[in-house]
A and B are shown apart, each in its own frame.
Chain A
Amino acid sequence: MSPTSKSTSPLLTVENLTVDFLSDESPVRAVNAVSFDVSRGETLVILGESGSGKSVSTSAVMDLIDQPPGDIVSGRISFDGAPIGNLRGEPRRLINGQKIAMIFQDPLAYLNPVYTVGRQIVEIFACHGVASGKEARERSIELLRRVGIPEPDTRIDQYPHQFSGGQRQRVMIAMAIALKPDLLIADEPTTALDVSVQAQILDLLRDLQNETGMALILITHDLEVAASMADRVIVMNRGEIVEAGVARDVFTSPRHAYTKKLISALPHGDTAEGGNRRSTIPSGETVLKVENLTKEYLFSQGLFGKKQSFRAVNDVNFEIRKGETLGIVGESGSGKSSVARMLLRLTEPTAGRAIFAGEDIFSMNQARLLAFRRKVQMVFQDPYGSMNPRMSVHAIISEPWAIHGDILPQARWKDRVVELLELVGLNPEHVDRYPHQFSGGQRQRIAIARALASEPDLIICDEAVSALDVSIQAQIIDLLADLRTRLGLSYIFITHDLPIVRHFADRIVVMKQGEIVEDGSTSAIFANPVHPYTQSLLEATPVPKWMAVRAPRPTGRARDALTL
């Protein structure tokens, strides 16, 4: 903060950082000889997929790595010219929170659930001896106002769970900037947020940086976020920096194979190479027809609250034909997952009909329901959470045959599991392994194999690729498209990420607050979105910083017209 140190030398320098994590067998190298620096007013983006070591490098800067199991093998970290790598106790407290602050991916988990947000902000002023009591509270209210929390003087006394996802991240930011740090480290700050909220948070970070001149390190796996924020980029893969440079150069002419792969994996990046994965089968008979689907929840608010009703899904209609993919797009709370749960009768609808093979799903008895569930399968967002960790791959995939006795005689199970594993691109020798021995993408392939085991007509994918890295997302979508052609499947593909369905869905339904606001063919929706909400979803996609400098805010539509 002292004006004298405003020189050309970097604010933070990390040299040759190597971190191991001790495990039962041998130490795992999380970060290997990583060096980077960042100057005041500059934004450095650390780009990489999960497990690339991008978070570990910055955790070391703030001494957030637990040792053990972590082990900083080597490395020099200096801040404002002074080494800070080994600071503990009181000297560390002069850095953390005061000079360097950090915000994290999931603000609900990273805020203490049992304290009001006010207490958690006031605490920063108090523990650094800056302000206390009434003054600290007033400054906290001011901070909340600055980061865009409405009615900050009443909301300061609320708890984290009473805020929306985007507001929680604003609260985190308010905490981080309380003491005007010189460096803000943002670790996947928008990954858990909806696209439109993501844009607001990124704008806020940009504004704050302009205001205070702080340095910003942004860690992300999202290429678009990276491009829209970065002055400089380092790309990490398997604990090493594989490419570093000025943002524009890295994104427009990537040199390293990994960066090239990453950038080509963008679902809506290079259209020529990305290719069209839409269905080629002409529309056949109707598989599922949903009419007036409605779900109402009753809830009570507060200690003495009375029951209120809330329409999670309101009068939704759509139909899907054989061999077709229907994309249901919406942000969290739009009711898209409720629709899926009702179609599988995991939740009972309040009203409406869903005709599958001439029969209303909602009036089926238990026996009919069992037969129906065989024909409609689901693939969930988190393949690990939706698999029993104590069942082998063979047991997981063959379970539908044990439930529905008439699909396959037991003698053929082994061969069929092998066939299915080959179909989804897994090594059939791995049938006896357990879910934890696979990567996220491989687990999702197992989940797809399990869904295919009961020979369904329709697969509902609920955010099936959202938890995966970009390059893996593309692979899974390719796999689904290929299976559709080969097996004549229909998909309902539920996602919050509009670009993902662009080359995959035949038709798109856009949902907002429980209602369908727009539907139509995919090309029509992308070429000419009618509803303002759809337009905002398309525009919320971040614009590269070097383009934004010339034209401050090109609309999503204009940009899309270029690549369509």
Chain B
Amino acid sequence: MLSYIGRRASHSIISVLGLLALVFFLTRLTGDPSSLFLPLDSTLEARQAFARLHGFDQPIHWQFLNYLRDLVSLDFGQSVRQNRSAMEIALEAFPQTLKLAFVAMALAIALAIVAGSIAATRPGGFFDRIVSLVSLTGASAPDFWIAIVGILVFAVSFDLLPTSGTGSLAHWIMPVFVLALRPFGLLVQVVRGTMLSALSAPYIKTARAKGLRRKEIIFGHALRNSLLPVITVAGDLTAGLVNGAVIVETVFGWPGIGKLMIDAIILRDFAVVQSTILVTATAIFVLNICIDLLYAVLDPRIRY
């Protein structure tokens, strides 16, 4: 198993390096940062001095090699705007995103498992139809729209919740709800589908012949067997959230990594863009390893 993790890690390092190279060159295609940082009327000398200071005057391949050299010594560059370590900024914002993502996913998974399981026991029944309706709405409504309407209704009209920012528990409600909606909608459908097939599996017949209670059959025998596909999809969705719930963070002014990334791109703060990508890519790699290990825990037939 350790060798498996090692193998996966080495593969991931290669793809992260590729990703960093791609991001490095793409960000530099967006234009010259000095035109954004310096006043419009600054002189050519001032611009050249700024470029020299941050190394933007060198040929681009040379900049990249420097970047790689710095990476090895764990120097991830300075934020042009804030004048401090770019990695420090990224790591400050990341926990905010993580917290939000995990609360939203935990809520979505828990609700989806309960609702999907119950829906699967009576396919086509009343509860099943309600769940299907809610889940389809949740999966298909655009989150920025839900976020904006949510702010209009709950914050502006009724003044029940804050419009944006962090601090109190009330600040969590709308971002978590908006973020959880889509994963919930998708996961309910997955749970319902896998539970339907698990409930018609032969071992369920055995459980019934053994005289187990209905509850034990559904949640003990069927659910455990239908979790693998659920985890695959949930993992994928979590990766999406960890990546920075860019839109939701921006709409609600949540100081997470998604908002940081957007701001850095707009300001051409290259070192910060690269650091945020590095942080999220690493997080997603760790997440995927965890999911693979979870497979092995849940299904004794899977061994690495």
Contacts and interface: CB of A to CB of B under 8 A. Distances in A.
A93 B213 contact: yes
B225 interface: yes
Interface string A196-220: 0000000000000000000000000
A175 interface: yes
Interface stretch (B23-31, B157-165, B199-207): B199-207
B207 A112 contact: yes
B8 interface: no
A260 to B, nearest CB: 34
A94 B211 CA distance: 8
B201 A127 contact: no
A111 B225 CA distance: 12
Contact of A97 (B200, B201, B211, B224): B211
Interface string B174-210: 0000000000000000000000000011110111111
Counting chain A residues whose Cβ lies within 8 A of the other chain, the interface size class is: 35 or more
A161 B205 contact: no
A114 B224 contact: yes
Interface stretch (A22-30, A98-106, A416-424, A545-553): A98-106
B298 interface: yes
A62 B208 contact: yes
B133 interface: no
Nearest to A106: B202
A25 B303 CA distance: 46
Contacts of A94: 211
A114 B300 contact: yes
Nearest to A161: B301
A64 interface: yes
B211 A110 contact: no
A535 interface: no
Interface string B269-304: 000000000000000000000000000101111011
A49 to B, nearest CB: 21
A63 B212 CA distance: 13
A111 B210 CA distance: 12
A80 interface: no
A175 B209 CA distance: 10
Contacts of A161: 300-301
Contacts of A102: 206, 209
A123 B200 CA distance: 20
A159 interface: yes
Contacts of B92: none
Nearest to B213: A127
A123 to B, nearest CB: 7
Contacts of A123: 210, 212, 216
Interface string B116-151: 000000000000000000000000000000000000
Given A123-B212, A127-B210, A303 B1 contact: yes
A16 interface: no
A104 B2 CA distance: 40
Interface string A58-91: 0000111010000000000000000000000100
B296 to A, nearest CB: 8
A104 B202 contact: yes
Nearest to A162: B300
26 contacts: A63-B208, A64-B205, A64-B209, A89-B214, A94-B211, A95-B211, A96-B208, A96-B210, A96-B211, A101-B210, A102-B206, A102-B209, A104-B202, A112-B207, A112-B225, A113-B225, A114-B300, A115-B224, A116-B300, A127-B213, A159-B301, A161-B300, A172-B206, A175-B206, A303-B1, A304-B1
Interface of A: 62-64, 66, 89, 92-98, 101-102, 104, 106, 109-116, 123-124, 127-128, 159, 161, 172, 175, 302-304
Given A102-B206, A114-B300, 12 more contacts: A62-B209, A64-B205, A93-B212, A96-B211, A97-B210, A102-B209, A104-B205, A114-B298, A115-B224, A123-B212, A127-B211, A161-B301
Q: Which 10 A-B pairs have the closest CB atoms?
A: A97-B211, A96-B211, A109-B202, A102-B209, A112-B203, A93-B211, A97-B210, A159-B300, A110-B202, A110-B206
